[in-house]
Amino acid sequence: MHPITHAQARPDHPAIIMAGTGETVTYGEMDAYANRFAQLLRAHGLKRGDHVAILMENTIDYLQLVWGSQRAGTMMVPISTRLTAPEICYILKDAGAKLLVTSRYFDEVMDDIRADCPDMEILAKDGEGEENLAAALAKYPAEPIADEAPGQYMLYSSGTTGRPKGIRPAPPADDDILAVNPLVGLAVMGVGWPADGSMIYLSPAPLYHAAPLGWCTTAHRLGATIVVMEKFDPETALEAIEKYRVTDSQWVPTHFVRMLKLDPEVRTRYDLSTHVRAIHAAAPCPVPVKREMIEWWGPIVIEYYAGSEGIGMTLVKSEDWLTHPGTVGKPIHGQLHVCGPDGEEVPAGTDGLLYFENENIPTYHNDPEKTADAMHPKGWMTLGDIGHVDEDGFLFLTDRKSHMIISGGVNIYPQEIENLLVTHDKVMDAAVIGAPCPDFGEKVVAVVQPIDMGEAGETLEAELRDFLAPQLAKIKMPKLFDFREQLPREANGKLYKRELRDEYAKKAEIEAEQA
């Protein structure tokens, strides 16, 4: 299955609809655009395996560019829209990108990018002169290139624990661009997606991230119509489900939290009856949040655990989750291993580092040390998460290894504290980190985003301490509460804890120097 086949069978069927504007592209139009972009890549000297970067907000062009790269056999490098010019240039140089496709949305950083990457060829949506993307595409025919080949993505990690790392996938198993994609099988057999082209799929997250990119392209292989939100807004998402009669969707837990915090009258205003499958992942979902979503939407909520590396996946539907609250499911791709510090597998119910065994293991681009650090002696790979499997074979995540706080020799996992804080009716978001402490090595700090910043202060802190006290051991209670209007969270749900940890580490250094 491939968009090419749907373009031939149903050229007038909508392939992409922008949720806010209603701008629509059909499968026939997307096919022509993708062919023109593949022609452009060849004309600009990009061969199979060469890298093309895309720095673009959610627009009607994004997925069409992806499909053009897919036909040219190039390695597309999607870049996060929240990065600074130096961070963007680091990725461009590290990837060895030969072309950057962007938009006028990034005008503020483009001068710095041009200065730092003077040889980089640039095309921009609504750009000027030779950089105008539409004018460049118009020069080429909407016919397939002679040497079509399946392209791939090299996704860069969020950089939550240091420099982002490029995840270089194993080479494609088949040179035929129409070959069956493994994710299609997981979507149809695991999630239950229909293969008859009837699906209307809502994508509320940024397309540069692994999950939206992977699920959207899979939906296109199945002939679905994808409704792309320009930017997530909780009420607008509900409105889009009603307006476009959405059947399927993909979310992160912060989306759930924000929708649940809406006024009850707003939440019940929209007809969600067409909505039959809602998948979510990318970050831990607190049990009360997940339970409330199932009560609201019904047993249509499907959770999975995976990573950009593509080494494995677990999945759980609502029915099994309700009997195993907090689980992220059983493996449906890759074989799961839970290992102790010595690398040996641990019994059921015991926390350990999670590894996936898979035939296709990626590498971290230009970083053999990071690749080696992620590998088990038996050739398995880890995403850096800690968890355990219960007696029934269901996986439960404890936290990321890199997020663990060691205070007075005790291991503390922030996820437990964060999951409690976001269930408080005055909290919108929360991050718990370890900050330097001269007495205990690290102290627990809770950085909290209140729903109403006007309530931030000692009274709210006391209320949160009283809320946490019956549910947390004293050693886990935050020593400090810091209230912020916004947390450094990606639109894809990832929290940039590194920024917060670095901030507190710098404060500690200054205080030590002044002492």
pLDDT in tens, the chain (515 residues): 899 999 999 999 999 999 999 999 999 999 999 999 999 999 999 999 999 999 999 999 999 999 999 999 999 999 999 888 999 999 999 999 999 999 999 999 999 999 999 999 999 999 999 999 999 999 999 999 999 999 999 999 865 456 788 999 988 878 899 888 888 988 999 999 999 999 999 999 999 998 999 999 999 999 999 999 999 999 999 999 999 999 999 999 889 989 999 999 999 999 999 999 999 997 778 899 999 999 999 999 999 999 889 999 999 999 999 999 999 999 999 999 999 999 999 999 999 999 999 998 999 999 898 899 999 999 999 999 999 999 999 999 988 888 888 887 778 888 889 989 999 999 999 999 898 887 778 899 999 999 999 999 999 999 999 999 998 888 899 999 999 999 988 776 778 888 888 898 888 888 777 76
DSSP state letter for 276: -
Residue 10 CB burial class (10 angstroms; 0-12, 13-18, ≥19) = middle
Report the candidate in 285, 351, 280 with the shortest Cα–Cα distance to residue 317: 280
| Strands lying side by side in the sheet with 352-357 | 335-339, 352-357, 381-389, 395-400
DSSP state letter for 381: E
Euclidean distance between CA atoms 159 and 475, whole angstroms: 29
What pTM, to 2 d.p., does this model score? 0.87
Please report the domains of the chain, with CATH numbers, ordered by start residue: 22-170 (3.40.50.12780), 404-514 (3.30.300.30)
Q: Residue 137 is inside which H or E element, if any?
A: helix 133-138
Distance of CA 59 to the CA centre of its chain: 17
Residue 484 CB burial class (10 angstroms; 0-12, 13-18, ≥19) = middle
